[in-house]
């Protein structure tokens, strides 16, 4: 089955609740933290052109990711990467991550792009794109960003450590230092 990955728009808001459901299910299964978002929040990302959606040829939701800006657009977060179960292990996460990275670079070419994750596969994809692991102190100091983690089951760990560390790994792409790597089309 062919899967198309493209920048989401207002025509895709019908998938917002499904995206939230996928994120919730994944967080429960993995037993790790994924910040909860509302369908309205996801819809706003689609409408503003700050999201990537993957749809199967039959219209079935296959995956999703979105971007946020922080620190007066000095930082861009690639967030909410999710792939539906039946589309996992196909290289789709890599394709979505590549597309959201390209969108981030297009909209905010001088911004530092970061991602926080507990997933090894996402860490590998980010590394392949040119991201490097960093401490949380190298990420945005925008309090609103860190409050976005409040829906995560591990938020108490982040708070106890004064927002300096958690179970997630921070990964950063700084366009002033790094150049993007061409990403291979290999499975993880």
SS3 132: strand
Tokens of 160: 């106890």
- Please name which of 143, 173, 144, 146 lies closest in space to residue 157, comparing C-alpha atoms: 146
* Model pLDDT for residues 24-83, shown as the tens digit of each residue: 877 777 666 566 789 999 999 999 999 999 999 999 999 999 999 998 899 999 988 999
For residue 181, tell me if it sits in a domain. no
Express each pLDDT in 154-186 by its tens digit: 889 999 999 888 888 999 999 998 776 655 554
Q: Is residue 178 part of a domain?
A: no
* CATH number for the domain that contains residue 144: 3.40.630.30
Decide if 183 is inside a domain. no
Domain count, the chain: 1
Domain that holds residue 128: 3-173
85 class by beta-carbon count within 10 Å (0-12 exposed, 13-18 middle, 19+ buried): exposed
């Amino acid at each position: 089955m062919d899967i198309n990955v493209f920048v989401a728009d207002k025509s895709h808001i019908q998938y917002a609740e499904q995206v939230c459901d996928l994120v919730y299910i994944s967080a429960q299964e993995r037993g790790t933290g994924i910040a909860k978002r509302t369908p309205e929040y996801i819809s706003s990302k689609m409408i503003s052109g700050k999201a990537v959606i993957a749809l199967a040829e039959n219209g079935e939701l296959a995956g999703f990711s979105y971007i946020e800006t922080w620190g007066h657009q000095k930082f861009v977060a690639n967030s909410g990467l999710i792939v539906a179960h039946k589309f996992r292990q196909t290289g789709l996460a890599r394709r979505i991550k590549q597309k959201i990275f390209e969108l981030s670079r297009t909209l905010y070419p001088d911004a530092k792009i970061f991602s926080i994750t507990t997933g090894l596969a996402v860490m590998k994809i980010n590394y392949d794109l040119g991201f490097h692991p960093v401490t949380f102190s190298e990420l945005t100091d925008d309090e609103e960003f860190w409050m976005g983690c409040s829906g995560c089951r591990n938020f108490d760990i982040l708070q106890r450590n004064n927002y300096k560390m958690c179970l997630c790994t921070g990964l950063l792409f700084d366009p002033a230092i790094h150049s993007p790597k061409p990403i291979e089309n290999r499975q993880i």
